[in-house]
Amino acid sequence: MDVSGDGSGMADAREFEVGIGIGTVRGLRFGEEGGRRVLALHGWLDNAASFVPLAPLLSGLDLVALDLPGHGRSAHQPAGTDYTFVSAVHQVLDVADALGWTHFALLGHSMGAGIASLLAASMPERVERLVAIEALGGLPETVEQTVPRLREAIASARGLGTRPLRVFPDLDAPVRARMRVNALSEPVARLLVERGVRPVDGGHVWCSDPRLTIPTAMRMTGEQVDALVAGIECPTRVIYAEPAQPYLPEPDRSRRARLLPDGDLVVLPGGHHLHMEQPGDVAAAIGDFLLR
């Protein structure tokens, strides 16, 4: 199946794994060792296959696309712990340490761009460049929603229990679900699904951790997100899709991008997963930015 966006397939993708504190983190590695070191971080409930269409169009890179913990083929967070952006930052740094990468660039989509933003702001001495697609900093919350959000998150976590996972006899139903929920084409949805399920008796189940569906208990205020973005010191390129997502509205998303000390903004027509659906356009927008 052709998944590269240019007819070259995914022959360049190699399975990757490394052990860190929580267990094994897996993913896909593109390019050649010795190229510019780039860690690619996918969006919520996606996986490393998110970068399969785009990565072959970016030359000169040693690009490691992770299955973030709880996603794809990577280990889940230990029982009794929460998925937070801060814990994800530590886990990405653990992967970089295991690779022996003192310095590296970041390429993030959606949730992955939010995690990359936190990492770049918190460890400026390690992050050389940042490409943030369809997110920057994080999703803010009003002060008035602090208690309702906390109550919803705690109630959801306590009620999650140990419900059995739905078994799909084949991949058609989960592919259709991803197409519907994320407005994806069939080939793109199938890429994510094939890496996002595991075989069981009678078919397949999602391999993502059900705890990822629990609402975030605490979010930063708008002022805190602004301060975070203003604290990203490395050169940064932000790529947004037009029309804007409801949770990432204009003019606020563009205003926030202007807070970057050394950043620029590119807006392309497309949907939230434009890096998968229009990889050529996104690769052109990135250009040689990661190589400079």
Distance CA 231, CA 282 (A): 25
Alpha carbons within 13 angstroms on the beta-carbon side of residue 83 total 22
Distance CA 153, CA 155 (A): 6
Distance of CA 209 to the CA centre of its chain: 15
The CA dihedral of 218, 152, 111, 268, to the nearest 10 degrees, is -110
Distance CA 187, CA 49 (A): 12
Distance of CA 250 to the CA centre of its chain: 22
Strand (E) or helix (H) holding 249: none
Asked whether the beta carbons of 58 and 65 are under 8 A apart, the reply is no
What 3-state class would DSSP assign to 220? coil
Query: Which amino acid, residue 139?
Result: L
Distance CA 263, CA 270 (A): 22
From the candidates 50, 110, 117, 208, which is the catalytic residue? 110
Distance of CA 48 to CAs 14, 230, 255, 272, 276, Å?
Answer: 11, 28, 30, 16, 12
Q: Is 254 marked active-site?
A: no
Q: Which of 91, 88, 103 is nearest to 37 (CA)?
A: 103
Q: Which of 29, 19, 89, 108 is nearest to 63 (CA)?
A: 29
What 3-state class would DSSP assign to 265? strand
Eight-state DSSP code of residue 56? G
- Catalytic positions: 110
